[in-house]
Structure 1
Amino acid sequence: MLIAEQSIEVGGLRWFYLEANGALAGIPIVLLHGMPAHSYAWREVIPDLAQAGFRVIAPDWIGFGESSKPDKSEFTYSPEAFLKALGGFLDGLSIDRCILVVQGFLGSVGVQYALRFPKRIKKLVILNAPLSTAAKLPGRLKQLGWPLLGDMLTQNPLSVDNALEYGGWQIENVDLAIYRAPYSSSGDAGRALMLSVRNLQLAAATAEIATGFAPWKKPGAPFDVLVVWGAKDRYLGESMGKIFADAHSQIDLEIIPKGGHYPQEHYPKEVNEAILRFLR
């Protein structure tokens, strides 16, 4: 399955994205990565979903990977800025409605987008993202946003390794090198990461998520939701996904028993099978 590297400029921001086109016409799947990763996180997911017939698009968030890394005077790296940019990206690709798959910290922004614009969402899949006000930004990510220390850590590409691997399970060196590359090639990537961590507004985001899913406690919710949860997540814990699903009778849950914070890294087969079962 051919995965093409594409880019589009919207509102002065350049989005890099991966795209694979399945044989079927229909609603596309948009995959949104978490911090401090980029679209490479979906390398084992894209082919299977495309092989099943879907058009699959995996962008680098603004500030990450190969996408633009604007100065903070031009882009605040806040949820509101990411939400506006995401809407522009979808408009730029003429995507009126999609199946949205989100993961991790920044995944919360994808969830916020789905709740605010439900008519643009056919189905939502959530992989190990902060879903409760009990969620806290873990120390290994939080320190990347601290004054002075954050400036230093985000200019050290090895900090990216530490943040990725602490989420659970070791990542191969060849893959870490690809994740590390944007931070090795330019200081702009580190500054964008620092600002994204600093301005994530996690407490407000999770409060919006907690109240926003009230319609999923009874039949008639705006769209179907699946939570796929890596049980060995050192950042968000084993129980958050289950507690969230148990509280919302219209939300499905799939547990990846040995998966960590980035379950698609080590258990892509199980993740892909869970997503495809949900989409059929």
Structure 2
Amino acid sequence: MVEPIATENTLINGSRVAYGVYGKGEPVVLVHGTPSSSLIWRNIVPRLVDAGYKAHVFDLLGFGLSERPWNTAVDTSMTGQVPVLEGLLELWGLDKTHIVAHDIGGGVAQRFSVFSPERVLSLTLIDVVSFDSYPSKRTKEQMQNGLESLIKADSDKHRAHFEDWLLSAVKTPAKLKESSLDTYLDYISGPIGQPSLFEHQVRHYDPKHTLEVVPRLGELGKLPVQLIWGADDAWQVVGWAHRLHDAIPGSSLTILDDTGHFSPEEQPGKISKTLIGFLKSLLMIEPWENLTLTCHLLQQPSKVIDLTITPTFNHRHGPQPQEIRLGRDRSTSEGLCHVDPFDASVADFDDVETDTEALGGIERDLAIGLETEALGAGRDTLPDID
């Protein structure tokens, strides 16, 4: 059995949820899908930690090592999992976070990001459900025939059936057999796992949870969004990736060759490289607001000029030149300022036509001083997050 990574427990709205937190740095919350658990992130988390991120994982309510509520009034659908995510963010003290999601975890993430975009630093969707892309034809037929017979099916037949099902989620079944297959099957088999699989997972394979947010997917274009997809995904075929990509303006799409639906299992190295590269490009995605730089003048070090600018960093095109106004007393002069997105204490000034009379005859050559203050909601350097 593969060792779990959700080793801590907490109560969220009265139900026990298993979770794990690793590393230091900007927060990344990873949301798994079905029929899996946080285990699917076990080879991604160490790479995130090594890259300087703080990884947060959890087992959805009714999944993995989290509680399997017997009370059917407890909502474990994609919609019902959003308050679980919100409760964990409160526990972890996260006002904002990067979100990475797989499979139905992507449905949870889409709902959270649409309804609470101010809390999302970026969104990475990996082989996720969307629109009405689920359930599969086979699962739909089983659901129409009634779940009761499946819940009461012979345990050996149940396990064999879902072994075949899980193996269809990868391009290379032998690798899954050698690693985590038995652990995934243990979670969804036996006197607790078998009935809870249908009660908390299969029963909620209802596209209403994603269809509800389809009219608002375009709003996610205001966030940095990337899609990662297995070219050989048999559960969420790659056509859905292109449709979702088209629905989210400015999103990026990476297709991984020789990869199935359980891409974090098959290609943790490629997934991690793509994810970390994306996150690193977003160091300053949040624009500074009313950033005030105290500039010391090369020619007259005793004199300073305060520059108030609002630079932006476009996550698809990099740092954008911003028009600024250099001010001293009530006089101004205009020019272009190119701000280094990774270091707000450094700026290059191009073609600044100074009003020498207004600036007291000071030369246009400026050097940014040691004092840099970010006002309002902006920031000038990446904050430390413990």
- Which of 16, 22, 28 is the matching residue for 2:18? 16
Question: How far did residue 154 of structure 1 move?
Answer: 9.4
Of stretches 13-22 and 226-235 in structure 1, the one that deviates more from structure 2 is: 13-22
Residue 138 of structure 1: aligned partner: 136
Is the CA contact 1:142–1:197 (under 8 Å) kept in the aligned structure 2? no
Of stretches 206-215 and 227-236 in structure 1, the one that deviates more from structure 2 is: 206-215
2: distance between equivalents of 1:140 and 1:174?
26
Residue 94 of structure 1: aligned partner: 93
- C-alpha change, 1:69 and 1:4, in structure 2 (3 Å) is closer
Aligned partner letter, 2:19: Y
Is the CA contact 1:97–1:122 (under 8 Å) kept in the aligned structure 2? yes
Aligned partner letter, 1:147: L
For this pair of structures, how many residues does the alignment match?
A: 268
Question: How far did residue 106 of structure 1 move?
Answer: 3.9
1: distance between equivalents of 2:153 and 2:130?
27
Is the CA contact 2:8–2:20 (under 8 Å) kept in the aligned structure 1? yes
* Alignment gaps of 5+ in structure 2: 281-386
Is the CA contact 1:7–1:15 (under 8 Å) kept in the aligned structure 2? yes
Residue 244 of structure 1: aligned partner: 244
Residue 193 of structure 1: aligned partner: 197
Is the CA contact 2:102–2:126 (under 8 Å) kept in the aligned structure 1? yes
Residue 79 of structure 1: aligned partner: 78
- C-alpha change, 1:275 and 1:89, in structure 2 (3 Å) is same
2: distance between equivalents of 1:154 and 1:115?
42
Question: How far did residue 74 of structure 1 move?
Answer: 4.3
CA deviation profile, 1:59-80 (whole Å, cap 9, x unmatched): 1101111101111334132233
Question: How far did residue 194 of structure 1 move?
Answer: 0.7
Residue 276 of structure 1: aligned partner: 276
Is the CA contact 1:226–1:251 (under 8 Å) kept in the aligned structure 2? yes
Q: Work out whether 1:35 is the aligned partner of 2:34.
A: yes
- Which of 176, 181, 189 is the matching residue for 1:176? 181
Of stretches 186-195 and 122-131 in structure 1, the one that deviates more from structure 2 is: 186-195
Match of 1:111, SS state, is: helix
More strand by share: 2
Aligned partner letter, 1:190: Q
2: distance between equivalents of 1:130 and 1:37?
14
Question: How far did residue 99 of structure 1 move?
Answer: 0.7
- C-alpha change, 1:10 and 1:244, in structure 2 (3 Å) is closer
Aligned partner letter, 1:122: L
CA RMSD, Structure 1 to Structure 2 (Å): 2.2
Residue 215 of structure 1: aligned partner: 219
Residue 116 of structure 2: aligned partner: 117
2: distance between equivalents of 1:153 and 1:33?
26
CA deviation profile, 1:14-38 (whole Å, cap 9, x unmatched): 111232113x3x3x11111110001
2: distance between equivalents of 1:76 and 1:216?
26
Aligned partner letter, 2:52: G
Residue 48 of structure 2: aligned partner: 49
1: distance between equivalents of 2:246 and 2:180?
35
Question: How far did residue 45 of structure 1 move?
Answer: 0.5
Residue 152 of structure 2: aligned partner: 152
More helix by share: 1
- C-alpha change, 1:95 and 1:68, in structure 2 (3 Å) is same
Question: How far did residue 84 of structure 1 move?
Answer: 1.9
Question: How far did residue 141 of structure 1 move?
Answer: 4.3
Question: How far did residue 144 of structure 1 move?
Answer: 6.4
Of stretches 168-177 and 137-146 in structure 1, the one that deviates more from structure 2 is: 137-146
CA deviation profile, 1:42-90 (whole Å, cap 9, x unmatched): 1111110111011101111011111011113341322332122221222
Structure with larger RCO (C-alpha < 8 A, sep 6+): 1
Question: How far did residue 98 of structure 1 move?
Answer: 1.1
* Alignment gaps of 5+ in structure 1: none
1: distance between equivalents of 2:164 and 2:266?
16
- C-alpha change, 1:254 and 1:199, in structure 2 (3 Å) is same
Is the CA contact 2:6–2:58 (under 8 Å) kept in the aligned structure 1? no
TM-score, normalised by the number of residues in structure 1: 0.87
Aligned partner letter, 1:180: L
Is the CA contact 1:144–1:194 (under 8 Å) kept in the aligned structure 2? no
Question: How far did residue 247 of structure 1 move?
Answer: 4.2
Match of 1:213, SS state, is: helix
Question: How far did residue 111 of structure 1 move?
Answer: 1.6
Aligned partner letter, 1:149: S
CA deviation profile, 1:128-152 (whole Å, cap 9, x unmatched): 112233x131145446653233313
- C-alpha change, 1:166 and 1:142, in structure 2 (3 Å) is farther
- C-alpha change, 1:10 and 1:144, in structure 2 (3 Å) is farther
Question: How far did residue 231 of structure 1 move?
Answer: 1.1
- C-alpha change, 1:160 and 1:32, in structure 2 (3 Å) is farther
Question: How far did residue 92 of structure 1 move?
Answer: 2.1
